[in-house]
Structure 1
Amino acid sequence: MKILKYNNELKNFYILQLGQFISQFGSKMTSFGLIMWAYEQSSSVLYISSLTVCSLLPSILFSFFAGSFIDVWNKKKILLIANSIAIIFSLITLILLFFNQLDIRYLYLINFTLGVVDAFQGPASDVVISLIVSKKYYTQISGLRSFAISFTTTLAPIIATSFYVLLGMKVIIIVDLGTFLFSFISLLFFVYVPNNIIKKQDKKESFLSSCKQGITYIVNRKDIFHLIIFMGFVNFIAAIYSCNFTPMILLRNGNNKFELGIVSSTIGIAGIIGSILVTVMKQPKKRIPIIINTMTFSFLVCNSMLGIGRNYYIWMIAVFAGNCLVPFLTANVEYIMRTKIPIEMQGRVFSTRNTLQYLSIPIGYMLGGLLTDKIFEPFMNNPSTLQRFFSYIVGNGRGSGNGLVYISIGLIGFLGCCFFKFDKHLKKLDD
């Protein structure tokens, strides 16, 4: 298959991607395990949402400033430093677990620090790929990256759940440390990254002036700006979706972690199939309709079925239908961003994009937690005429409030996509 065909021109990318894949697999296992651990400690969606926000918020806020450094620093060194810091904090978490001192408050601090690191690591990684991959392979490598992410999403929850139940959280973090080391060594010794530094006169510009260039470029490009706004909207709905996913399933299935692992892995299976399709299918002439229609279908079908469903069979169908087309979204958005933005500006523009596009994620997480804990769950647990009406749709008992949240965001997401479908600035990206 085309997705698995070796291409010597992409050797650098293959090595980099392998290291990132191994590292992300370990990180996904740890993240999934810590969500289960934190939910057992707190039994609160809001606490889990707050943990995620502590990681996302610094990543988003510092990302705006990071781009100015990324464009003039050695990108490979940035990635190596970021990897080293991640290893240190995983080791700290492991030590706290060994001495039974791990507390959710410590996880807030750890997540905040790793979020700052990610503000530099994410955009630097994006620029590195633009430097080592020819433009003609952008769609193919996007499919490969989606394939790796989906494969991780498929297996990591199953393995993490098995390790958590049988061996405990400590073993998961030990495995994670091993994956970090593999990624560090492969990047250090086997990946060549051109040290693409911007022109000397640009380096003399003030720091604030350099930061301003990213936001100025985006604001002046209405088509790119509107695409970022659309992705911010998608991220907002996805954040509410994500923070309610694990709690809803555990509440509705009697805390059955294996069913949670199966449903989570179905998301990955759908992503793998979608990634293969993206890689082998012919390049589309129009990319914006694919981007909009993909999310219109996903919001309406996936979120609605998750809210209505009462067992993991329905949830598996819902997440499969909603996620099998998502690689088409990411591949086409990535292609547009890499081909429309000059390479010497990508660090600043990608960083500014991350700040604008991902700012909606912590808002979504906090709002999702508040809506569930403070409004929808109490509403569904207090009998009333309106509550009885909604109970026919989402059922009764624990988790029904989460189900009502999914129905709501499914409708909002669908209507939002219909609005963006007629955006004239987005359509210009296909000209």
Structure 2
Amino acid sequence: RPARGEGGGSLWREAGDGFRYVRRRAGLLGLLSVFGVNNFLFGIASIAITPLVLSFADPARLGLQMGIGGAGLLLGGLAVTATGGPRRRIHGVLGGSLLAGLAIAAHGLAPSFALVTAAGFAMFAVLPAISAANDSIWQRKVPAELQGRCFAIQRLLSEAAMPLGYCLAGPLAEHLFEPLLAPGGALAATAGPLIGTGPGRGIGLMFIVLGLLMAAAAMAAYSIRAIRQVEQLPDAVAGPAPTAPAPTPATTTNREPA
């Protein structure tokens, strides 16, 4: 506990301690980067899903699609609880991120309610595995006295990345992607025959780009040895403070009294 007069900076010092611990371990720093990228891209997708579905379905079907996605989240959580998740936790984080990215990309392939619903279910089903595996790695590799600080760093990154995604979703959809696939747009003659043109198809293209970026980030992380082998870091096991060594025979006197 800081002495009186030192408490003003203790919060920043403690946050700094947590970040320095992460920064000195490239694997954990890489995981933190993947976490931030995922949250940023997911933030954009979570806002854009409503106009995407409404471009070819009514509000009732939008509600059904979201409900089925929630069921995927529930079932994914139950599966992780029952099985414990992947034995190699890093596969849960990066493999799950890869699958989630592909599921996000699948949202934009066609204006199909069945496709978007299945893709949403698959995406939400893998999120519990990603979260559980990520938390497990951090709990094992970060000392107990630093875990609160390190998880707070993740929370801060999430609360910064997702709102940024929320803010960018509308401008990206309206001013960049939708004009590209409007009739006569820059990509109407190339991407148009593959995913269609008209209202909502630009948002579909945005989902494809978001998903491929998430998948690419996961594959890039797999290619970095420090991240791929983060579980080989020594486990941070909290234990009692070391005690002073017992005196050796050379420093003791055991002579009998005269």
1:348 aligns with 2:152: no
Q: Hey, what's the Cα distance between the residues in 2 that align with 1:236 and 1:209?
A: 27
Q: Output one character per residue of 1:97-138: Cα deviation in whole Å (capped at 9) or x when no partner.
A: xxxxxxxxxxxxxxxxxxxxxxxxxxxxxxxxxxxxxxxxxx
The offset of 1:402, in angstroms, is 0.7
Q: Work out the number of aligned pairs and report it.
A: 230
Question: Residue 66 of structure 2 is aligned with which of 237, 260, 264?
Answer: 264
The offset of 1:265, in angstroms, is 1.0
The offset of 1:284, in angstroms, is 4.1
Structure 1 residues 252 and 276, CA gap change in structure 2 (3 angstroms): same
Q: Hey, what's the Cα distance between the residues in 1 that align with 2:5 and 2:90?
A: 36
TM-score (norm 2): 0.80
Q: Residue 184 of structure 2 aligns to a residue in which SS?
A: coil
What does residue 394 of structure 1 align with?
195
Does the Cα contact within 8 Å between 1:248 and 1:402 map onto a contact in 2?
Answer: yes
1:319 aligns with 2:120: yes
Q: Output one character per residue of 1:39-81: Cα deviation in whole Å (capped at 9) or x when no partner.
A: xxxxxxxxxxxxxxxxxxxxxxxxxxxxxxxxxxxxxxxxxxx
Structure 2 portions without partners, runs of 5+: 233-258
Aligned amino acid, residue 31 of structure 2: L
The offset of 1:202, in angstroms, is 10
From the two aligned structures, give the one with the greater helix fraction: 1
What does residue 296 of structure 1 align with?
98
Question: Residue 234 of structure 1 is aligned with which of 38, 52, 57?
Answer: 38
Does the Cα contact within 8 Å between 1:377 and 1:400 map onto a contact in 2?
Answer: yes
Q: Hey, what's the Cα distance between the residues in 1 that align with 2:65 and 2:201?
A: 18
Does the Cα contact within 8 Å between 1:228 and 1:357 map onto a contact in 2?
Answer: no
The offset of 1:352, in angstroms, is 2.2
Q: Hey, what's the Cα distance between the residues in 2 that align with 1:419 and 1:393?
A: 27
The offset of 1:200, in angstroms, is 5.9
The offset of 1:321, in angstroms, is 2.1
Q: Hey, what's the Cα distance between the residues in 1 that align with 2:159 and 2:226?
A: 21
What is the aligned-residue RMSD (CA, Å)? 2.3
1:224 aligns with 2:224: no
The offset of 1:327, in angstroms, is 1.1
Structure 1 residues 285 and 378, CA gap change in structure 2 (3 angstroms): closer
TM-score (norm 1): 0.49
Structure 1 residues 277 and 220, CA gap change in structure 2 (3 angstroms): same
Q: Hey, what's the Cα distance between the residues in 1 that align with 2:85 and 2:127?
A: 16
Structure 1 residues 225 and 203, CA gap change in structure 2 (3 angstroms): farther
Aligned amino acid, residue 393 of structure 1: L
The offset of 1:219, in angstroms, is 1.6
Structure 1 portions without partners, runs of 5+: 1-198
1:281 aligns with 2:91: no
Q: Hey, what's the Cα distance between the residues in 1 that align with 2:96 and 2:63?
A: 25
Q: Hey, what's the Cα distance between the residues in 1 that align with 2:206 and 2:165?
A: 12
Q: Output one character per residue of 1:215-244: Cα deviation in whole Å (capped at 9) or x when no partner.
A: 222222322211111111111221121111
Structure 1 residues 202 and 247, CA gap change in structure 2 (3 angstroms): farther
Question: Residue 131 of structure 2 is aligned with which of 318, 330, 346?
Answer: 330
What does residue 238 of structure 2 align with?
none
Structure 1 residues 203 and 298, CA gap change in structure 2 (3 angstroms): farther
Structure 1 residues 246 and 355, CA gap change in structure 2 (3 angstroms): same
Q: Hey, what's the Cα distance between the residues in 1 that align with 2:5 and 2:151?
A: 18
Does the Cα contact within 8 Å between 2:137 and 2:231 map onto a contact in 1?
Answer: no
Q: Residue 373 of structure 1 aligns to a residue in which SS?
A: helix
Q: Hey, what's the Cα distance between the residues in 2 that align with 1:421 and 1:309?
A: 30
1:248 aligns with 2:49: no
The offset of 1:362, in angstroms, is 2.7
Q: Hey, what's the Cα distance between the residues in 1 that align with 2:108 and 2:78?
A: 29
Does the Cα contact within 8 Å between 1:270 and 1:323 map onto a contact in 2?
Answer: yes
Report % sequence identity: 24
Does the Cα contact within 8 Å between 1:239 and 1:361 map onto a contact in 2?
Answer: yes
Higher relative contact order (CA 8 A, sep 6+): 2
Aligned amino acid, residue 375 of structure 1: L
Q: Hey, what's the Cα distance between the residues in 2 that align with 1:390 and 1:334?
A: 39
